[in-house]
């Protein structure tokens, strides 16, 4: 499904205090540590934000609050100028809900998963997200699941191949593990189906043997019971004609 295009007139969401803090401190940190990787910079900024005092956080919190108010005011104006926007948002939410319900219904029809089946290999981004998600949650308190995933994806996109290497190595190892396990794995249903198919084949063979034996016995009985030829009835015409001749002669 194609994604709905974002309205260019719609105001962007306000930045959080932590994002504003990172925008200021990131440049200073990279200048002091030019060899530091992108991931390490993000971790260090998180530590700095957690260790910062209330006085150090105060200007960023105040700026975030002002931006939030500006965003709310802009959104009110936007809704007045675009009255259909709220209806479109509601329709989009309904579509998302219906798509989720349909996917759940489809999932019910699918077969049950085998608990002994090998688990699928995770991607490099999944390893990265699982490791970095707790830190991002602490840095962005109050943000929902979708907002955290957006932050993680944005950071992942800006990372170089060298920065991604520790997670890509884990993903490669997991792929090898999955291939080995799938090669050894035998689904439980296959043994039952094979046994049932072999039993059905044996039954069919036995039935065919029984049919052949019965046909042979029927042939033998037919051979033994040959039809007996019945004697043809004697002709009475000659007797009748001879009796008539005798009566005439008399």
Tell me: the pLDDT tens digits for 165-208?
999 999 999 999 988 888 888 876 544 444 444 455 545 555 55
Tell me which residue of 19, 67, 65 sits closest to 46, measured CA to CA: 19
> Which pLDDT value is given to residue 81?
81
> Which pLDDT value is given to residue 211?
52
Query: Angle at the Cα of 124 (from 123 to 130), degrees rounded to 5?
Result: 90
Tell me which residue of 54, 75, 67, 74 sits closest to 23, measured CA to CA: 67
> Which pLDDT value is given to residue 107?
54
> How many Å separate Cα 209 from the centre of its chain?
48
- Whether residue 29 contacts residue 89, with contact meaning beta carbons closer than 8 Å, is answered with no
* pTM of the predicted model as reported, rounded to 2 decimal places: 0.36
**Residue entry with tokens 């051979």:** 223
- Whether residue 137 contacts residue 47, with contact meaning beta carbons closer than 8 Å, is answered with no
> Which pLDDT value is given to residue 172?
93
- CA gyration radius for the chain? 45
For 142, left (φ over 0), alpha (ψ -120 to 50), or beta?
Answer: left
Tell me which residues of the chain have a pLDDT lower than 50.
Answer: 1, 190-198, 202, 210, 238-239, 241, 245-250
Which residues in 72-94 are b (16+ Cβ under 10 Å) and which e? eeeeeeeeeeeeebeeeeeeeee
> Which pLDDT value is given to residue 226?
53
């Amino acid at each position: 499904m194609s994604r709905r295009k974002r309205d260019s007139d719609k105001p962007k969401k306000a930045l959080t205090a932590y994002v504003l803090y990172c925008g200021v401190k990131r440049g200073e940190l990279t200048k002091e540590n030019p060899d530091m990787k992108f991931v390490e910079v993000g971790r260090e900024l998180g530590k700095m934000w957690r260790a910062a005092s209330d006085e150090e956080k105060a200007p960023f919190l105040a700026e975030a609050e002002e931006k939030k108010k500006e965003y709310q005011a802009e959104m009110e104006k936007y809704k007045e100028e675009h009255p259909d926007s709220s209806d479109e948002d509601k329709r989009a939410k309904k579509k998302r809900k219906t798509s989720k319900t349909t996917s759940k219904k489809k999932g019910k029809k699918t077969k049950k998963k085998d608990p002994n089946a090998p688990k699928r290999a995770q991607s490099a981004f999944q390893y990265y997200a699982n490791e970095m998600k707790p830190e991002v949650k602490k840095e962005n308190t109050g943000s929902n699941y979708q907002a955290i995933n957006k932050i993680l994806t944005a950071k992942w996109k800006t990372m170089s191949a060298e920065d991604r290497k520790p997670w890509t190595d884990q993903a490669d190892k997991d792929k090898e593990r999955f291939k080995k396990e799938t090669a050894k794995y035998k689904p439980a249903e296959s043994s039952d189906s094979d046994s049932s198919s072999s039993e059905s084949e044996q039954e069919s063979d036995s039935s065919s043997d029984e049919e052949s034996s019965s046909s042979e016995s029927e042939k033998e009985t037919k051979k033994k019971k040959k039809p007996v030829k019945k004697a043809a009835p004697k002709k009475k015409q000659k007797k009748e004609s001879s009796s008539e001749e005798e009566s005439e002669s008399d």
